[in-house]
Amino acid sequence: MKAKMTVNKSFTVDKVDPRIYGSFVEHLGRCVYEGIYEPDHKTANALGFREDVMSLVKELNTPFIRYPGGNFVSGYNWEDGIGPRESRPQRLDLAWRTMETNEVGIHEFADWAKEVNAEINMAVNLGTRGIEEARNIVEYCNHPGGTYWSDLRRKNGAEDPFAIKTWCLGNEMDGPWQMGAKTAEEYGRIAAEAAKMMKWTDESIEMVACGSSNSEMPTFASWEATVLEHTYEHVDYLSLHVYYGNRTDDLMSYLAKSLNMDNFIKGVVAICDYIKAKKRSKKKLHLSFDEWNVWYHSNAADAKIREEEPWKWAPPILEDVYNFEDALLVGCCLITLLKNCDRVKIACLAQLVNVIAPIMTEKGGDAWRQTTFYPFMHAANHGLGTVLTPIVDAPTYSCEEFAEVPYIESVAVHNEEANEVVIFAVNRNPEVAIDFDIDLQDFDVTGIAAYSELSGHDVKTANTVASRTVVPSNKDTAKVSGNTVNAELAPLSWNMIRVSVK
């Protein structure tokens, strides 16, 4: 079986915003407590953060982390997480039916984010709270001093502002599961007024308005249009959320889910551009895909914990153990985000540690890489530069949702600083290797810098505390002829080929 991708140096999608490789830390389950923060762990630093986890986060190279939620933020009082720890209140988190101690708050998380070289994407509570609290937190975090809130920050130990640039105006406000859920009209009005006051407090910040919680919501599209009627001139991004799962154990349909992601993106872009035209605006709105991942393995266990053992501190919920097929889908989704990087400027893999995450920890024990860690690590470290417009000719298959699914999902990124064209490719075919030619037109190709392949595993094989066999291997089989690169992509494989160019 053969396939070919053609790219040309002069035909590009856009430059990659590194924030497309963002992630997400929510006060949920063991993401914060026993995840990034475990003061009694043997690797904990003076602030109580696990250095073994920090090392893996740095390896993942995520430059942008959304915090502190998520559903959690819609009932969160940000003031609970500042000041002396012994004075901080313990609260019921109604979103996840757990107990929140507030040991980690804005100051602690800002210290941790600095350690892992990540920018904070702060979400504000527009569920149970409103525009006053939203503008106050901006003043607390970003104003230099001389006001009540900024001087309180300094009193609490942060002389310099946190300088948080990007702010989410609530979370999934269309969802009936959300504390303080709203209609599109209600949310559009409060989001517009919050954005105004927040930007008046710090004119340098960027704002993300809530889109639909997912594309299957009954109000999808009308929600986006109504919200943007109110917020278009006040915000910079509109959010998208999606989670995928292989609940019917249909591998080929599962691996096609990235086409659903692509359709979702293009649909939301169309709505944004409709409102732009309607308002006769010169402003182009971009997208923040600030929640995306695989999430389904833990659903049954989560339901039992939340019903039978509520109000526990840091319970093990949403702890999906990812397998090889999940890594392939994550790879396909990363390629889809890159193909749409002209409009998707921010994306956050949800979440970072323990909770539907690429990194897992054992309390008091080890931390390890899940199968999905590797495609994300490859993309975040090497998928930087300019995405080239891909023309892919590949055989296809059909599944229940899509009539034509290409066996090859691929994209190429020109990293001028590294003098490389980096090719990411997934072979969806479960049985047949694909002879893949990549025609790099107008490039002076000098060789193969590296070729990494994740393949050869049963689709249900997972990495666990006891066994971590799903890891990429280095290959030396890619060949160069002129400006064409050829590689045989193994059945069911994630591939990264780094091609040296002058």
The catalytic residues are 172, 291
Buried b (16+ CB within 10 A) or exposed e, 260-281: bbbebbeebbebbeebbeeeee
284: tokens are 């182009």
Judge whether 38 and 470 are in contact, CB under 8 Å. no
- From residue 346, alpha-carbon distances to 22, 88, 133, 175, 236 in Å are 7, 33, 25, 22, 11
Strand partners, 107: none
Would you call 57 helix, strand, or coil by DSSP?
helix
CB neighbours (10 Å) of residue 37? Answer: 24
- From residue 398, alpha-carbon distances to 252, 264, 426 in Å are 9, 19, 17
- From residue 330, alpha-carbon distances to 94, 176, 494 in Å are 30, 28, 10
Cα–Cα dist 217/223, whole Å: 9
Find the farthest-apart pair of alpha carbons in the chain and give their distance in angstroms, rounded. Answer: 68
Q: Residue type at 390?
A: P
Would you call 23 helix, strand, or coil by DSSP?
strand
Cα–Cα dist 180/129, whole Å: 8
Q: Which of 408, 242, 254, 410 is nearest to 326 (CA)?
A: 254
Can you point out the beta strands (E) in 272-358?
A: 286-294, 312-313, 344-350
Please classify residue 4 by burial: count the beta carbons closer than 10 Å to its beta carbon, then call 0-12 exposed, 13-18 middle and 19+ buried: middle
